[in-house]
Structure 1
Amino acid sequence: MSNSEYSIRIAKIEEFESIGKLMVQVYAALDGFPKPDEQPKYYEFLANVGELTSKPGTEILVSVSSDETIAGAVVYFGDMQYYGSGGTATQEKNAAGFRLLAVDNSVRGKGIGKSLTLACLDKAKNQKQKQMIIHTTNAMKPAWKMYEAIGFKRSEDLDFKQGDLDVFGFRLQL
C-alpha cells in the first residue's frame, strides 16, 4: 500500500521512540484536545506507544517516505480485548480496531492518514475480521469526513468519556 511518495510497513522496534514523540506532538497540537499538563498519563501512554505491541495481534503501522522518514503512524489491534479504550469496544468479537492515528503536521493533506486507515482495513480483511472499530473526538473532526467517506458509521454504543473528553465510536462492516 503506497502512494508515490510514501509506503506503509510495520514499525521497527528502534522507531518506537520517534513514533511516540510524533504522537505526543500531533495530539498536543489539536485544538480542543486535552494538553499534556491536563492529561499527563495519556501523553505518557502516547510517548510509550511501542509498549502496546507486546499484546497479541497488536502492531504499529507507519507511513514512511523514500528516505525512511516517518510521516505517520497508527496502532492496529487484531484482537479487541487489547484495544484499551473505555466503553464497550473491548468486548467486541470478530472485530479489529485501530487507535492513535497520527500524521506529522508538515505532511498533512497528502493522503497519509487515509492510506494508514486502508492498510488497517486490509489487514483486518486478511484476518477475516467482520468489522473495524475506531474512536475519535471533536478535536479530530477533519478525520471524520475521511472515515465516513471510507464507509465508517457512527456507533453511539461505543461512545465513552475520557475524563471530560467525549470520545465517539465508529464501526465499519467488512
Structure 2
Amino acid sequence: MSQEYLIRDANPNEFIKIGELMVKVYSQLDGFPSQKEQPNYYKTLANIGSFTEKPNTRLLIAVSENDEIGGGVVYFSDMKYYGSGGTAPQEKNASGFRLLAVAPTARGKGIGKLLTEACIELAKDEKQRQVIIHSTKAMQIAWKMYEKLGFKRSKDLDFKQEELSVYGFRLSLSS
C-alpha cells in the first residue's frame, strides 16, 4: 500500500528539517554544483524557511500519514520575490515555484508531481496567467515531469547561476 501525502504549508518548527532535506537532495544531484562550489546557494537551501518572510511566498511540504516530510517547494504568487537571475522577477500576472525537492526515501511516489500541481492550483486560484519555473540539466527527471504537465521551455527566462546554466519554463494558464 502506498503512502498518502498531504500538501500543506510548512510550520516554522519544520523549517530546519526541510532545509536539511533541501541540502541533502541538491548536493546529491549528479552534475549539480557542490556546497564548496556554491556555498551561498546551499546557505539559501538550508535557510529555506526564510523565504516565507517575503510577501505572497509560501513553503509547501508533502507530509505522509505518519508525519514524515516527503518533499517541499517554495511558491511565489508575486514574481518580484522569486529571487532568480534573468528576467523572471520582472514577469507580471505570473506565479512561480523554486527549490522543489523530494526526500530520497520518498522518491517514485509522485510527490514532485503533487507539489507541482499544488502550485499550479494556487496560481489558478489567484487568477494568474502563467506559472514560471527553472530547472537545470542535473534535474532531468523533474524536467520531464514539468513537460508532461504542460510546461514549455522559455529561453527568454534562461540565466547563469555562476557557472551553472539554468533553464526557464512557463505554463500558460490562459484559456
Same fold by TM-score, threshold 0.5 exceeded? yes
Residue 38 of structure 1 aligns with an amino acid whose one-letter code is E
Structure 2: how far apart are the matches of 1:40 and 1:93? 31
1:79 maps to 78
Q: Secondary structure at the match of 2:34?
A: coil
Counterparts of 1:81-100 in structure 2, within 5 Å, are 81-100=80-99
* Correspondence for 1:104: 103
* CA distance in structure 2 between the partners assigned to 1:26 and 1:114 by the alignment: 16
CA offsets, 1:6-35, max 9 Å, x none?
A: 111111111011010000000000000001
C-alpha displacement of 1:5:
1.5
Q: Verify the 8 A CA contact 2:8 2:62 in the aligned structure 1.
A: yes
Specify the code of the residue in structure 2 equivalent to 1:21: E
| Count of residue pairs the alignment pairs up | 172
> Is 1:21 aligned with 2:24?
no
What is the DSSP-based 3-state SS (H/G/I as helix, E as strand, rest coil) of the residue aligned with 1:73?
Answer: strand
1:10, 1:158 → 2: CA distance? 27
The Cα offsets for residues 58-114 of structure 1, whole Å up to 9 and x where unpaired, read as 000000001111000000000000000000000000000000000001111110000
Q: Is the contact made by 2:70 and 2:103 (CA closer than 8 Å) also made in structure 1?
A: yes
Q: Which residue of 2 aligns with 1:131?
A: 130
Q: Following the alignment from structure 1 to structure 2, what is the Cα–Cα distance between the partners of residues 142 and 119? A: 18
Q: Name the structure 2 match of 1:41.
A: 40
TM-score (structure 1 length as normaliser): 0.97
2: distance between equivalents of 1:33 and 1:70? Answer: 23
- Cα distance in 2 for partners of 1:137, 1:80 equals 19
Structure 1 gaps of 5+ residues are: none
Structure 1 residue runs of 4+, over 2 Å off? none
For the residue of structure 2 that corresponds to 1:84, the secondary structure is: coil
Distance 2:150 2:136 in 1: 18
Which 5+ residue runs of structure 2 have no aligned equivalent? none
Equivalent-residue separation in structure 2 for 1:125 and 1:5 (angstroms): 24
Question: Could you tell me how far apart the structure 2 residues matched to 1:115 and 1:104 are?
Answer: 14
Could you say which residue in structure 1 is the equivalent of 2:157? 158
Give the deviation of 1:4 after TM superposition.
5.3
In 1, are the aligned partners of 2:79 and 2:96 still within 8 Å (CA)?
yes
SS at match of 1:19: helix
TM-score by length of 2: 0.97
